[in-house]
Amino acid sequence: MSPLPLVIRPDDVLIVIDPQVDFCPGGALAVAGGDEIMPLINQIAGRFEHVVITQDWHPREQISFASNHPGAEPFSVVEVAYGPQTLWPDHCVQGTRGAQLHPALDVTHAQLVLRKGYHREVDSYSAFFENDKVTATGLSGYLRQRGLKRCVFVGLALDFCVRCSAEDALTEGFEAVVVPQASRAIDLDSSEAAAMASFAARGVVLAAA
């Protein structure tokens, strides 16, 4: 069954998750087909008045970098103060080319670029809360003060930052919609299927562009 087409309301916000060079082919944490979704994201964004972009923005000392855990391999999991944390290749390092928004992204009317993952000791997949689940980014307040009620998510990666952001949106009292066509997954240990099952269980709605 294909999802119903997205019908945009005035109190919707499009949240474009981490459309960055390092998450596209050739980048440090490349997601297969990551670059392919940029034209569709541009097209979808053109239909929204309210657009937020998130930007993964790590210091070199980030706790989620395998390089900061001697002997550990990327894509393994370690226990940190807030629980299990997957280790990644160094990516989206502050100020580097890989951290830049993808050159094919053309969303000039976006009013907020929200950086996340800038603390050394806590990673941040979600646009709302860091991975400790308590440190807020401030996005809920921003959206509430603007009267926005439904968050529509596209971007990278479907099974990590898009998933956590959509689920936290629900926790924060927003409606949450994901457009899978305009997202791509890393798919580590069946994490794409797990994300889709979790969306269905929690009430994250899927929509077609």
Active site residues: 18, 116, 161
Q: Residue 153, SS3?
A: strand
Asked if 152 and 177 touch (Cβ cutoff 8 Å), the reply is yes
Q: Residue 208, SS3?
A: strand
Q: Is 172 in the site for ligand VGL (CB under 6 A)?
A: no
- How many chain residues touch Zn ion (CB under 5 A)? 1
Q: Which does 174 bind (CB under 5 to 8 A by kind): ligand VGL, Zn ion, none?
A: none
Q: Is 18 in the site for ligand VGL (CB under 6 A)?
A: yes
Strand 83-86 relative to strand 175-184: parallel, antiparallel, unpaired? Answer: unpaired
Lookup: tokens for 42: 């541009």
Q: Residue 114, SS3?
A: strand
Given the rule CB under 6 A, which of 7-15, 153-161, 171-179, 199-207 is the region that contacts ligand VGL? 153-161
Q: Which does 156 bind (CB under 5 to 8 A by kind): ligand VGL, Zn ion, none?
A: ligand VGL
Candidate residues 56, 90, 167, 168; the one interacting with Zn ion per rule CB under 5 A:
56
Distance in angstroms (rounded) separating the CA atoms of residues 85 and 108: 34
Least Cβ distance, residue 98 to ligand VGL (angstroms)? 12
Contacting residues toward Zn ion, per CB under 5 A? 56
